[in-house]
Chain A
Amino acid sequence: MASEKIGKVVEMSILTRIRRIPFWSWFWFILGALYFLLPLYATVNFSLRMERDVIGFKAYVRAFEDPEFIKTFLYSNMLALLTIVASIILIVPTAYWIRLRLPEARRIVEFITLLPFVVPAIILVFGLIRIYSSPVKIPFTDTTLLQPLTTFEVGTDILIVAGYVVLGLPYMYRSVDTGMRTVDVRTLTEAAQSLGASWFTIIVRVILPNIRAALLSGALLTFAIVVGEVTLASFLGVPAFGPYLFLLGQHRAYEPAALSFASFLLTWVAMGLIQLFTGGQGQTTGAH
Chain B
Amino acid sequence: MSYLSISHVTKKFGDTVVVDDFNLDIEKGEFVSFLGPSGCGKTTTLRMVAGFEIPTSGKILLNGADITDKAPNQRNVGMIFQSYALFPNMTVAQNIGFGLRIRKEPEATVKQRVDEMVSLINLEKHANKYPYQLSGGQQQRVSLARALANRPQVLLLDEPLSALDAKIRVSLRAEIRAIQKSLGITAIFVTHDQEEALSISDRIVVMNTGVMEQVGTPFEIYNFPTTVFAANFVGSLNNSSAEVVDPANSLISIDGVQFESAVDLKQRRKGDKVRVAIRPERLSFASEQKKANVVDATIENVTFLGSVVRIQVKIGQTKFNMDTFNNPFLELPKIGSMEQVTCSREAVLVLDE
Q: By the criterion CB–CB under 8 Å, are A184 and B83 in contact?
A: yes
B103 within 8 A of A: yes
Shortest CB-to-CB span from B242 to chain A, Å, is 48
Q: Which residue of B lies closest to A284 (CB)?
A: B88
B102 within 8 A of A: yes
A195 within 8 A of B: yes
Q: By the criterion CB–CB under 8 Å, are A196 and B99 in contact?
A: yes
Give Cα distance in the complex from A285 to B89, angstroms: 7
Q: Which of A122-130, A139-147, A185-193 contacts B (4 or more CB under 8 A)?
A: A185-193
A120 within 8 A of B: no
Q: Which residue of A lies closest to B94 (CB)?
A: A288
Of B77, B79, B88, chain A has the most CB atoms within 10 Å of the CB of B88
Q: By the criterion CB–CB under 8 Å, are B72 and A191 in contact?
A: no
A190 in complex: contacting residue of B81, B99, B146, CB < 8 Å: B81
Known A-B contacts A191-B85, A210-B88; the reply to A284 vs B77 at CB < 8 A is no
Q: By the criterion CB–CB under 8 Å, are B73 and A188 in contact?
A: no
Q: What 1/0 mask marks residues of chain B from 86 to 102 whose CB sits below 8 Å from any chain A CB?
A: 11110000000011001
Q: By the criterion CB–CB under 8 Å, are A196 and B130 in contact?
A: no
Q: By the criterion CB–CB under 8 Å, are B81 and A196 in contact?
A: no
A209 within 8 A of B: yes
Give Cα distance in the complex from A210 to B130, angstroms: 13
B85 in complex: contacting residue of A184, A201, A284, CB < 8 Å: A184
B190 within 8 A of A: no
A188 surroundings in chain B (CB, below 8 A) = 85, 87
- A191-228 interface with B by 8 A CB criterion: 191-198, 201, 205-206, 209-210, 212
B79 surroundings in chain A (CB, below 8 A) = 190-191, 194
Q: What 1/0 mask marks residues of chain B from 57 to 79 whose CB sits below 8 Å from any chain A CB?
A: 00000000000000111011111
Q: What 1/0 mask marks residues of chain B from 116 to 156 whose CB sits below 8 Å from any chain A CB?
A: 00000000000000101000000000010011001000000
Q: By the criterion CB–CB under 8 Å, are B89 and A209 in contact?
A: yes
A191 surroundings in chain B (CB, below 8 A) = 79, 81, 85-87, 143, 146
B89 in complex: contacting residue of A190, A196, A210, CB < 8 Å: A210
Give Cα distance in the complex from A188 to B81, angstroms: 10
Shortest CB-to-CB span from A210 to chain B, Å, is 5
B50 within 8 A of A: yes
A201 in complex: contacting residue of B72, B102, B147, CB < 8 Å: B102
- Chain A interface helix/strand/loop/mixed: helix
Known A-B contacts A190-B52, A190-B72, A210-B89; the reply to A196 vs B83 at CB < 8 A is no
Q: What 1/0 mask marks residues of chain A from 260 to 288 whose CB sits below 8 Å from any chain B CB?
A: 00000000000000000000000011111
Give Cα distance in the complex from A269 to B50, angstroms: 48
Q: Which residue of A lies closest to B75 (CB)?
A: A194
A196 in complex: contacting residue of B50, B73, B85, CB < 8 Å: B73
Shortest CB-to-CB span from A27 to chain B, Å, is 42
Shortest CB-to-CB span from B155 to chain A, Å, is 10
Q: By the criterion CB–CB under 8 Å, are B130 and A195 in contact?
A: no
Shortest CB-to-CB span from B93 to chain A, Å, is 13
B72 surroundings in chain A (CB, below 8 A) = 190, 193-194
Q: What 1/0 mask marks residues of chain B from 21 to 55 whose CB sits below 8 Å from any chain A CB?
A: 00000000000000000000000000000111000
Question: A-B pairs with CB below 8 Å: how many?
Answer: 73
Of A190, A191, A288, chain B has the most CB atoms within 10 Å of the CB of A191
Q: By the criterion CB–CB under 8 Å, are B132 and A285 in contact?
A: yes
Known A-B contacts A193-B72, A194-B73, A284-B132; the reply to A187 vs B85 at CB < 8 A is yes
A210 in complex: contacting residue of B52, B87, B146, CB < 8 Å: B87
Shortest CB-to-CB span from B342 to chain A, Å, is 52
Q: What 1/0 mask marks residues of chain B from 300 to 339 whose CB sits below 8 Å from any chain A CB?
A: 0000000000000000000000000000000000000000
A183 within 8 A of B: yes
B73 in complex: contacting residue of A198, A210, A286, CB < 8 Å: A198
A210 surroundings in chain B (CB, below 8 A) = 87-89
Shortest CB-to-CB span from B249 to chain A, Å, is 56
A190 surroundings in chain B (CB, below 8 A) = 50, 52, 72, 79, 81, 85
B76 surroundings in chain A (CB, below 8 A) = 196
Shortest CB-to-CB span from A183 to chain B, Å, is 6
B102 in complex: contacting residue of A184, A196, A212, A287, CB < 8 Å: A196
A184 surroundings in chain B (CB, below 8 A) = 83, 85
Q: By the criterion CB–CB under 8 Å, are B146 and A195 in contact?
A: yes
A183 surroundings in chain B (CB, below 8 A) = 88
Q: Which residue of B lies closest to A211 (CB)?
A: B89
Shortest CB-to-CB span from A214 to chain B, Å, is 13
Known A-B contacts A187-B83, A190-B52, A206-B87; the reply to A195 vs B150 at CB < 8 A is yes
Give Cα distance in the complex from A284 to B72, angstroms: 25
Q: By the criterion CB–CB under 8 Å, are A197 and B50 in contact?
A: no
Known A-B contacts A190-B72, A210-B88, A284-B132; the reply to A196 vs B78 at CB < 8 A is no
B81 surroundings in chain A (CB, below 8 A) = 187, 190-191
Q: What 1/0 mask marks residues of chain B from 221 to 241 whose CB sits below 8 Å from any chain A CB?
A: 000000000000000000000
Give Cα distance in the complex from A195 to B95, angstroms: 10
Of A195, A209, A288, chain B has the most CB atoms within 10 Å of the CB of A195
The 3 A-B residue pairs whose C-beta atoms are closest, nearest first, are A195-B99, A194-B79, A191-B85
Residue contacts A-B, CB under 8 angstroms, 22 given: A190-B79, A190-B81, A191-B81, A191-B86, A191-B143, A192-B98, A193-B51, A193-B52, A193-B71, A193-B73, A195-B98, A195-B146, A195-B147, A196-B73, A197-B73, A197-B98, A197-B102, A205-B98, A210-B87, A210-B89, A284-B132, A288-B89
Excluding A193-B52, A201-B102, A285-B132, 13 further A-B contacts by CB distance (< 8 Å) are A190-B50, A190-B72, A191-B81, A191-B85, A191-B146, A193-B71, A194-B79, A195-B73, A195-B102, A195-B150, A196-B99, A284-B88, A287-B130
